[in-house]
Structure 1
């Protein structure tokens, strides 16, 4: 936080970022034709048949409106007498629910989705309801079938665990196992909404510690003794990480610091700050991961929503604790943090169409700027139900980005490669998608026959990052950074840090 407001450091980082942008433009001027030629030499491989992963998408809105509407109409014809809602102790069938709202098979998607009396979401896109998530399971399987048909598109769908009660995990796992929502093209992330204050006001929770126990104790139990939670043990095989979600623009009382009470003592109705949630999620995950690693099980990563709106310290927390973040729009206003995210290559899953509707117009989105500077960015859909119209929302996202920002074929393939690197798919799967040497550095890590990314582009990214790290190491070692001003930065050599 001190670095962010330090004038000389801000100037230094801003100018380094400007330099990175200019250097990339020079690379394109010199090597664009070489990159195109390298791609043309690769048989069978183009943007359509390279692997790409939707690294930020919510399961409850993973389908488009037309898909959901057709599914609902089919359900109305197939299960009209099934009880789907309880009101005042009386069960209502699917037919009763729609007749009470004057809805028919000719109802449009928009009319259906703006109903106020009974939200169709409660019936069709919830895992825990009167039909035990039956409809949601069916439609998720249809989305999975579409992904499998396309072969090269993959998703990391997010499901919610709220922390209200200890049995949430078992219910969710039972839904997943019973409805067989499994696909080689899909992995799951668990999102934890930051809603402690809501549950506290309703007397659902006594303190924040109880929320943490509801979220993590079942995971420890399933790791130590899989037979205690058999369905959960199976489900966790396909869970790759955790997400923290809520409206970041909500006002917060303070930043998490040494004076903040421990979770067992956080019993008032105020919601803990973002950093408090993230720290205790990270702390519990770290212990859980040590245990799972000792028992030969895969581990989890933290990939929260971060930097979409709200205070800048959310991005500080994300930088310190996260493997990847979703959105990261506010990095455009914080050159120090943006430079740190670049140096550490923290992944940023960006959703321009979603942001265009909610926070930032498409033309102001910083994704092309981040990409040119070398930040680890990928394209994702966020909520196809709200923002996309086609059967392939991820391709829709790439298509619009390519047209609006004039992205080259190499740019598109680099974004797709980044999405695979950022994803939670296994090392074995990534080796097949990207090449067996993908964990190495520089062009050795790249197999153009699988990624369609030219070695020239990968070599440029590696050399540029290495030079920036060398510059920083030299500056810190010689104690120059504290005294750098704008004039010094102009005379700083771009490659070695020598004056």
Structure 2
């Protein structure tokens, strides 16, 4: 048995001597003899023991005192902690005052020198800490100046240091950092970089040097994915759901009531004696304090006169779709709506591709690559992101705008709020008539007497509206939670808009919730409110409820949710065919578009409506009884139409409606249904085909191809992990964080605060739980808040006020960090990664057997080059003639490039770590016989070559 000796400082005088050396001792002390070291160590040990006894507190043992060892110095540790606490703030302040970089902080002896690579906070909004050791890498690439010395002697702020830091920052971020210039030579160099780097995730000799049958298969897969994207863009463009299709996003769009002026503008008006007259000279400007006098800034007369009658007309065709015509005599519709046959053919195409084995494997691998790339980015940039955030004054997570993109209006309050409201009505107005049932009028006191309850008996437990464990996978029980105390009559009284008191109680509690939202200032909501399609006057009743109660607020927008309950209506004898649902839902909308004066309140209400939602239990089994689905007027069975059938008729009628409303200058609508919470994955295929964005999207984790499509087109997903935790999926299994890391366009929402929330601010509660469970950083939370604003249906002028004047642009150009608190480097990483992924797909789409790329691929590469040359982050060079060459990008395209990387990074021994974030170009296990033979042949040649070298060496010896 081997004798293992453990050395200790007290037993080994040499180690003890090295442990007590101060940072100021010179080489003479370090080179002294063993005898001197032993004497000094003994003297130090005695003095140390004396000081330890003095430092001991009650109950402390000598072992509890921190001791300096070879690897740890408690004094230096405390000094560095204090330095770190003040480091970023003081350095940025000095940068702003002097315009120069600050020298490095003092570091412990023997540590590599750290220099500042930061720019003024107003320039790029980015900051990097670059080790001077990287200067030797730049020397190897020919980037250092001719007379430069070693990396540790570089002067901060010099030209060589700037280039070195820019190169190292480019390596750390994983994408090229170039100076924003329009020089043609720089653009050409960037073009070469993009062409070399566009095979992200396929490192090696390039995209098209694999086996021909493998590359052909990848090309076919990419063409299938591109065909899905083209189908989606066709449907979205046709229905005017794109980014710039809505007239409300135009600068001249009039928002009434107008949003509150920003604080700095209000102060300027007070100083200059600004007038309170009309904004446009037509109507008086009514001001109110946020959170007070809800609706007092709205007056229906201010909107008079309404627009007149339009000459276009509409008719319901035999297929159940409203068609728009230029006049009464026209026979050809103004816009060609896809038929239900075309819709299902396109849907089947998407389903076939998403179920294809190789396509699923390809999408799964790409998603894994995206997730790993983000993890690498976080490892390399999390401290720089923290530094960037600290430079932004006033702004943090609490005061960046965040929108609750998915919340149902009838459950928008928490249980305590509803309980307090019910008790107050019981005490103040017990004799108010609130219900007509069984031929008699009932007061509030009589209603509660019929259920044997008093105001004193009410409690949270009595209401029983919170979704506990009994509602998991029981959507029927969850729906019953909307009934206070399990009584549907209380839901009718307090949570319905169409009742005996015309929804007055619900309007009052809604105003209280709006007051809380306006007081918080930074929280917005998009409330879902129901239109069932049971009667044709539902729209007028809902609009009258909103307008008469003046439920207008800058913090609130509305979506119309349409429950899929045709089978219930059919069973109760309320209607005979599905066509009646279509008629009740859309005929009033076409009438008010033709003549706003026919439904004046509806016309005003629709200005605050964003779009349509489709809701119900997705887990219900959908049996396809027909090979070809009948048209709505022929759908007279008791079975409810499937999800795809509902979505098609919402979409097709919305196409005609949006076409007409845009021609009239009215706001258009989008389709944002509940999708992917449970049930069939076909729902997600329908959403990918024709919907603007979705809510939930849990099933995307089971369909990698559709998840990849959602990433490529950045389809919005409003997720509610707390809601899913109570209904369908436990919190730890929720894919929200995985979607976020992979770069999908996700946001957090509350769904039903009445059933799931405990606090007065349910949206903050949702963010807080997610931050604790998933360990989200402040930058992550601010990015989610920004995503929620971008997904929302607020007017572009409002979004520009919240996110910055260029919020509609991608990447760093569209990011205003002083408003969003999201570092430019994060936005640039997200955007550049998305461009790389699209470029990889585009190159495989345009691949042919002869390895000749079409001109469209070259064009795509040029676009990427222009982006890299003009918008990417970069260091400011004192000499614009020098061009930055990133070793990560220039070495990805060829074996010689890989060899140069090994030479450049040999000092750190990191030649083969793939720090660029690229994964191998081949899938594991996918090798052809030719490759195996070539591999063994190369191995044999290498062994023979080594043997011959050894023989020659022995002969020379």
Structure 2 counterparts to residues 449-464 of structure 1, below 5 A? 449-464=818-833
Match of 1:384 among 753, 768, 790: 753
Q: Is the 8 A contact 1:307 1:315 kept in 2?
A: yes
Indicate which of 29, 32, 36 corresponds to 2:379. 29
**Aligned partners of 1:117 and 1:415: how far apart in 2?**
38
8 A Cα contact 1:13 1:335, kept in partner: yes
Which of 95, 102, 105 is the aligned partner of 2:445? Answer: 95
Corresponding residue number in structure 2 for 1:306: 675
Confirm whether residue 128 of structure 1 aligns to residue 128 of structure 2.
Answer: no
Aligned length: 486
| Cα contact 2:463–2:486 (8 A) shared by 1 | no
Instruction: Judge conservation of contact 1:256–1:273 (CA < 8 Å) in 2.
Output: no
Query: After superposition, what is the alpha-carbon deviation per residue over 1:197-237, rounded to whole angstroms, capped at 9, x for unaligned?
Result: 11111121221111011001101111111110011011111
Residue in structure 1 matched with residue 766 of structure 2 by the alignment: 397
Q: CA deviation at 1:75?
A: 1.1
Deviation of 1:490 after TM superposition, in Å, equals: 5.7
Residue-by-residue CA offset, 1:270-298 (whole Å, 9 max, x unaligned): 11110010011011111111111111111
Report the secondary structure of 1:43's partner residue.
coil
The question of 1:108 aligning with 2:459 is answered yes
- Hey, what's the Cα distance between the residues in 1 that align with 2:728 and 2:391? 41
Task: Indicate the SS of the match to 1:250.
Answer: coil
Partner of 2:911: none
Please state how far the C-alpha of 1:119 moved relative to its aligned partner. 4.0
> Cα offset for 1:256?
8.9
**CA apart distance, 1:479:** 6.2
CA contact under 8 A between 2:579 and 2:632: conserved in structure 1? yes
1:343 to 712, 720, 729: 712
Name the Cα RMSD after superposition: 1.6
Matched residue SS, 1:115: helix
Matched-pair contact (CA < 8 Å) for 2:533–2:584: yes
Aligned counterpart for 2:789 among listed residues 407, 420, 426 = 420
Once the two structures are superposed, what CA deviation does each residue of 1:299-327 show, in whole Å capped at 9, x if it has no partner?
Answer: 11000000000000000001111111000
TM-score of the aligned structures, taking structure 2 as reference length: 0.50
- Residue pair 1:256, 1:275 contacting (<8 A) in 2 also: no
1:284 aligns with 2:653: yes
**Paired residue for 1:497?**
none
Write the deviation string for residues 135-190 of structure 1: whole angstroms up to 9, x where unpaired: 00000111111000000000000100000110000000111111111110000000
The runs of at least 4 consecutive aligned structure 1 residues that moved more than 2 Å come to: 112-119, 254-257, 486-492
**Secondary structure of residue in 2 paired with 1:159:** strand
1:488 Cα deviation after fit: 4.0
Distance change in 2, residues 1:491/1:412 (3 Å): farther
> Is 1:263 matched with 2:263?
no
C-alpha separation between the residues in 1 aligned to 2:609 and 2:634? 31
In structure 2, the residue matched to 1:483 is none
Q: Secondary structure at the match of 2:515?
A: helix
Question: C-alpha distance in 1, partners of 2:391/2:626?
Answer: 54
Question: Cα 1:401–1:255, aligned 2, differ >3 Å: closer, same or farther?
Answer: farther
Residue in structure 2 matched with residue 495 of structure 1 by the alignment: none
Is the CA contact 1:112–1:120 (under 8 Å) kept in the aligned structure 2? no
Find the counterpart in structure 1 of residue 562 from structure 2.
192
Query: Partners in 2 of 1:472 and 1:85 — Cα distance?
Result: 62
Residue 470 of structure 1 pairs with residue 839 of structure 2: yes
Task: Classify the secondary structure of the residue corresponding to 2:352.
Answer: coil
1:119 & 1:321 partners in 2: Cα distance? Answer: 38
Q: TM-score if structure 1 supplies the norm length? A: 0.95
Q: What residue in structure 1 maps to residue 415 of structure 2?
A: 65
- How far apart in 2 are the matches of 1:260 and 1:400? 44
Contact 1:256/1:276 (8 A) holds in 2: no
Which moved further from structure 2: 466-475 or 45-54? 466-475
The residue that corresponds to 2:874 in the other structure is: none
What is the match of residue 166 of structure 1? 536
1:40 corresponding residue in structure 2: 390
Secondary structure in 2 matching 1:3: helix
Aligned to 1:10: 360
Report the CA distance between 1:118 and its aligned residue. 4.6
Structure 1 partner of 2:65:
none
SS where residue 353 of structure 2 aligns?
coil
Moved more, 75-84 or 221-230: 75-84
Structure 2: unaligned runs, 5 residues or longer: 1-350, 465-483, 850-919, 927-957
Question: Which deviates more, 434-443 or 51-60?
Answer: 434-443
Tell me how far apart the structure 1 counterparts of residues 811 and 819 of structure 2 sit (CA, whole Å): 16
Gaps of at least 5 residues in structure 1 are: 481-485, 493-499
Counterpart position of 1:411:
780
1:234 aligns with 2:604: yes
